[in-house]
Amino acid sequence: MNHRSNPRFTTFASALCLALAATLAPAAHAASQPSKTDKAAAPQSASAPLPANAIARVNNVLITQDELDQAVRATNAPDTPQLRTGLKNQLIARELFRQAAAKAHYDTKPQVIAAVEQAKTIAMTQAYLRDQVKPAPVTDADVKAKYDAIVATLGENEYKPSVIAVKDADTANKILDQLKKGTDFAQLAKQYSQGPNAAQGGALNWISFKTPIQPGNTQNWPQPLAEALVKLPQGAVSSAPVQVGDVYWILRVDEKRPTQVPQLDQAQAELRKQLEQIALEKATAQVVGYLVKNAQIQQ
């Protein structure tokens, strides 16, 4: 079993660290460690002064100020003396565990060796990808072009829809019957829908289409859904299921208003993020394609 990826083990180990740390609080100045980069340093007296960047010594192994600072940052909590004391004691407890495990030769156990190899593989792969995957830079002109392209697809009005998507016509018609009887749309979406945001009652973000609907200008919506949506007044539900492939959709227009187009400076951060993700995916696909092309793969 890989303890590094086992949440139950991680929680258990953390609890042990906290429990042991609590016993250290009255004697937090007791022994700590030589720096993690100097495990084989000559033994030091427990009463010897700590080096400048050390906060504790555990059986001749130093715990450094840098390690404590990193632990504080990882918590994303306000930096207080109480937090630092607690984290320092946890670092001491963790080092005691490490030393006890090493003394008992746990480093030779198969599950530990496997975990080390897995961590090595992950680190090696991540380093390789950082060096080899080179996404094309996203320029201000790219962001402006994306903004203009999106604005060009927007229509006069925008809609705040909710949807229910099911896999058969009988269920869709059953839902429509319940809606006509006054059953809450969101409740039915949570109960039946296999579509987006079902747990939120099927509610989607604002969407706008230039009308009449043109293929390719539907903001990634299936064209039949876009055409059905723009025909509905505010508060209305589609009178019949809209079939797209093997899925039957029921639409409701929760709100309708004149399209509100954000200024470029309001949208550019999100657009840049989207374009950078696309560039990263493209660069990654190129590396994968090259590796596949030059590999012998049998399946």
Distance CA 152, CA 144 (A): 12
User: Which residues lie closer than 8 Å to 213 by C-beta, 6 or more apart?
Assistant: 223, 226, 227, 230
Nearest C-alpha neighbor of 156 from the set 207, 202, 210, 103: 210
* Fold entry, domain 155-258: Chitinase A; domain 3 (3.10.50)
* Half-sphere exposure (Cβ direction) of 30: Cα atoms closer than 13 Å: 13
- Cβ(159)–Cβ(235) under 8 Å? no
Supply the pLDDT for residue 17.
53
* Burial of 20 per CB tally in 10 Å (0-12, 13-18, 19+): middle
Query: Does 278 score more than 70 pLDDT?
Result: yes
Q: In the predicted model, what is the mean pLDDT of residues 69-98?
A: 95
User: Which residues lie closer than 8 Å to 210 by C-beta, 6 or more apart?
Assistant: 152, 153, 154, 155, 217
Supply the pLDDT for residue 216.
83
pLDDT per residue as tens digits for the range 84-138: 999 999 999 999 999 999 999 999 999 999 999 999 999 999 999 999 999 999 9
Q: What percent of the chain has pLDDT over 70?
A: 84
203: which DSSP letter?
B
Per the rule left: phi > 0, alpha: psi between -120 and 50, beta: everything else, 103 is alpha
For the whole model, what pTM was predicted?
Answer: 0.59
User: Which residues lie closer than 8 Å to 48 by C-beta, 6 or more apart?
Assistant: 57
Q: In the predicted model, what is the mean pLDDT of residues 210-237?
A: 92
Query: Does 79 score more than 80 pLDDT?
Result: yes
Distance CA 18, CA 124 (A): 32
| Helix ranges restricted to H, the chain | 7-24, 65-75, 81-103, 110-132, 140-153, 169-180, 185-192, 223-230, 264-293
Nearest C-alpha neighbor of 139 from the set 281, 283, 275, 264: 275
pLDDT per residue as tens digits for the range 15-65: 555 555 555 554 444 443 444 444 444 455 556 889 999 999 999 999 999
For the chain, what are the domain ranges? 3-103, 155-258
Supply the pLDDT for residue 11.
47
Query: Does 169 score more than 80 pLDDT?
Result: yes
Distance CA 13, CA 75 (A): 17
